[in-house]
Structure 1
């Protein structure tokens, strides 16, 4: 397939949860490809460190402090993007949390954290990104949701609520695709569903006994999705480490 990645050079991508793990790897890779990348995170100092390490790359990294579970923070972050960079062309909804919490006796607070970050924050960020695209007449933008294989298969042990939030992302991705089609929009939406990835989320004991992916593997999949021609939509991309048992 002929590469079309050059068409994104100089354009603006917002990556949520960009301070570490998958988000940091995605931001890093997009800057290398020449994009202006806005990294949203509560730990903004981590994004600033990443930005400093990328000064010699083709693109540029911007750090914006934002708790995406707070709608006012999200609104201000996208306002900053509009005022400083013009607006958003790509949104990567990466921020998420997985808590090993029982539905029977787990804390309501833990359950709510997953619902607020994994579903509602993603939805609010998506709404703001699409608003930005509409205001500027951008009809070739891209929304990428970092999902999970847990969004497609029965959950294990006490991760039922986490799996439920990821199942929700599967539905939200398809729902958004249908809404965009109904509006004759060429904006694309993609769900990327990794298996086990070596980040801060999985328990260390799991990483010791199971094959895993690296954050850079997921960053590569984001580039692959963006690199497809404008008429091609990778709607769902599932990535597993070799020999992972589901």
Structure 2
């Protein structure tokens, strides 16, 4: 990780859970982190936690579903802190919106956040890396749902399948461009975060007991995913971890 010291990383979805854990793990390695999220309050709380000794964590209030927000966040980061070296596309939402009963606005929320936001951020990061001759690293926080379909979370799974495809598409494009920028997809199994609770609060779920059911299942911690991010970033320049799938011991799906 030494080559990333004092370099700039953008992490999307840093309000809580995996994003906050990734931001903290990077800051501990002396990486300058810009956290993007919608909640100014939660970003301020994270800033207080991470900036006790040195100011390595910055933030920019951003709605990842709005292109103008993303562009402004990148412009601020580049003009204030310098070229981007790392992008962690972590922002993501789940909705219990099936293909037969789901609402169109729920589908759009999922695709705008999990796919379009990721694509726009990736485009801007790669453009800046190329402009500054930076051999950077793009990390997509994917999911096991991006490798196996689910009737319960059909559109969420579809969005993560898209991330799996986009990872390979970007890898091939970077090869054609003779670029040494890396791209990695990290696909966790069940993680102990509030994504299920958030999905229930935003959806008319046909599975009212799913929170209690999932709380009893084996689960990773957000810090486990953050450690996997550090692992992929710490590989030597000639090594690219293309896909890393991690599950809690005993996971049944």
- TM-score scaled by length of structure 1: 0.95
Q: Which residue of 2 aligns with 1:153?
A: 148
Mapped contact 2:149–2:158 kept (Cα < 8 A): no
Q: Which residue of 2 aligns with 1:243?
A: 250
Mapped contact 1:32–1:57 kept (Cα < 8 A): no
Matches within 5 A, 1:56-67: 56=52, 60-67=56-63
Q: Which residue of 2 aligns with 1:142?
A: 137
**Matched residues in 1 for 2:115 and 2:91: separation?**
10
Q: Assess, with a 3 A threshold, how the Cα gap between structure 1 residues 69 and 209 changes in structure 2: closer, same or farther.
A: same
Gaps of 5+ in 2: 198-210
Q: Which residue of 2 aligns with 1:9?
A: 5
Q: Assess, with a 3 A threshold, how the Cα gap between structure 1 residues 160 and 190 changes in structure 2: closer, same or farther.
A: same
After superposition, the CA RMSD in angstroms is 1.1
**Matched residues in 1 for 2:61 and 2:22: separation?**
18
Q: Which residue of 1 aligns with 2:168?
A: 174
Question: Cα deviations across residues 117-161 of structure 1 (Å, max 9, x unaligned)?
Answer: 0000000000011111122121x1000000000101121x32111
From 89, 92, 106, the counterpart of 1:96: 92
1:230 and 2:237 correspond: yes
Q: Which residue of 2 aligns with 1:214?
A: 221
From 117, 120, 130, the counterpart of 1:121: 117
The worse-fitting range, judged by mean Cα deviation, of 45-54 and 24-33 is 45-54
Question: Cα deviations across residues 180-229 of structure 1 (Å, max 9, x unaligned)?
Answer: 00011000000000000011112522332210001000000000000110
From 175, 178, 184, the counterpart of 2:178: 184
Deviation at 1:68, TM superposition (A): 1.2
Deviation at 1:105, TM superposition (A): 1.7
Q: Assess, with a 3 A threshold, how the Cα gap between structure 1 residues 221 and 57 changes in structure 2: closer, same or farther.
A: farther
**Matched residues in 1 for 2:213 and 2:13: separation?**
22
Gaps of 5+ in 1: none
**Matched residues in 2 for 1:36 and 1:45: separation?**
20
What secondary structure sits across from 2:128 in the alignment?
A: helix
- TM-score scaled by length of structure 2: 0.92
Q: Which residue of 2 aligns with 1:28?
A: 24
